[in-house]
Structure 1
Amino acid sequence: MPTPAKGPRLGGGAAHERLMLANLSAALFEHKRITTTLTKAKRLSPYAERLVTFAKRGDLSSRRRVLGLISDKGIVHELFTDIAKAVENRDGGYTRITKIGNRKGDNAPMAVIELVLEPVSAKQAVVKEATTAAATAAPAEEAAAPVGADVEESAVEEAPVEEASEVPAEEAPAEEAPADEGK
C-alpha cells in the first residue's frame, strides 16, 4: 500500500489511519460514491486505486491481499467482479474527487470521491482505432503505390480544372460592380 505521509496522521496514529482508509475504501466500493473531508479523500484516492489495480489482476493472491485489508467478503467480491470489469480498459484514474464546499458545523472543506465507471472516452477509442488502422494500411499502401506516374498525371489534370473554375468567378463580380454604380 502507499506509504503513509510523514507528519500528522488522519486520526492519531498510523494504525488508526490504515483502518480508517480501509473502511473508507470499503464504503466507496459498496456505494460507488461517498462524501468525506477533502483531506481524507486525497489520502483515500491512491489507496482505493491500488485496490482496484489488484482487482483488475484477478488472481488468488491479489484477492487475498485485498481481503487482508477489507474484511467484508461481499464488498471484495463486488470489487473483483463488477468494478474490475467496468474499469478493465482504463489505465488508471479510477477515482474522481469533486469539492463541494465547507461543512456547516466546523467549516471543514468537504469533497465527494467517486469511482469512475464510465467507459474510456469515445475520442480515445477512435484515436486508438485510427492508429491501428493506419499501421495496418501503411504496408498495404506501400505495396500498392509503386506507380508514381498515375499520381503525377492526376495532379496535372486537376490544376487546369481549378484555373478554369476561377475565371468565371472573377468575371461575375466585375459584371455586378457596374450595376451597383448605376444606382
Structure 2
Amino acid sequence: MRHGKKINHLGRKTAHRKSMLANMACSLIEHKRINTTVAKAKALKQFVEPMITKSKEDTTHNRRIVMSRLRQKDAVTELFRDVAVKVADRPGGYTRIIKLGNRLGDNADMAMIELVDYNEIYNADKQPKKKTTRRGRSKKADAAAPAAPAVESKKASNEEEE
C-alpha cells in the first residue's frame, strides 16, 4: 500500500532519480527553460523551488546546502549571482509549467518548465502601461478646456441669485 508516500519515483531508483533531478535543475538554471515530460517537470518544480528560496539569502550555509543537491559549481554560482537577484522580490512560485502536447514517439505528455522572471513574453505587462483613451484630443479642445470652468462659475452665480 502507498499510504502517506507522496513522492513520484519516476520509474527509477533513488540514486538515479536524485542525479536526474540535479542534472535537470542545473540545465534549468543554465538555460532558463527546458522541455521534459509533465511528471518530470512537476518533480523538478518541487526539487528546484526550495533551492531558489535558499539562494535569496547568500550565506555559506545556504551555498553548501544547494551545492550538496546540485553538485555543479557553475550552476550554484549562477543561481546565487543571477537568478537570486531576479527573484528577490517574489515570495514563491519561481517556475512555470506549460503543457506542450504529446510526444510523437511514445505519446508521453510533454511540458516546458521555465523560470518565471526570465520570460519576456509573459512579463511584458509588468512595465507600467500608458493610459489610453478611446477618443483623441485636438488642439482646439485643449485650448477650450480652461474656458469651461468659467462657464460653470457663471452658472453657479446665477443659481445663487435665484
Q: How high is the TM-score relative to the length of structure 2? A: 0.69
Q: Once the 2 structures are TM-superposed, how far is the Cα of residue 114 of structure 1 from its aligned partner? A: 0.3
Closer/same/farther in 2, CA of residues 4 and 13 from structure 1, 3 Å limit = farther
**Contact 1:4–1:14 under 8 Å retained in 2:** no
In structure 2, how many angstroms separate the alpha carbons of the residues matched to 1:80 and 1:22? 16
**One-letter amino acid of the counterpart of residue 31, structure 1:** H
Backbone CA RMSD of aligned residues: 2.5
Closer/same/farther in 2, CA of residues 28 and 107 from structure 1, 3 Å limit = same
1:88 alignment partner in structure 2? 88
Aligned length: 125
Q: When you count helix as a share of all residues, which structure comes out higher?
A: 1
1:21 alignment partner in structure 2? 21
> Mapping of 1:2-151 within 5 angstroms?
5-6=6-7, 9-117=9-117, 121=126
Identity %: 44
Structure 1 stretch displaced more, 49-58 or 114-123: 114-123
Task: Show structure 1 runs of 5+ residues with no match.
Answer: 124-157, 165-183
In structure 2, how many angstroms separate the alpha carbons of the residues matched to 1:107 and 1:16? 23
In structure 2, how many angstroms separate the alpha carbons of the residues matched to 1:23 and 1:98? 20
Larger RCO (alpha carbons 8 Å, 6+ apart)? 2
Which 4+ stretches in 1 moved above 6 angstroms? none
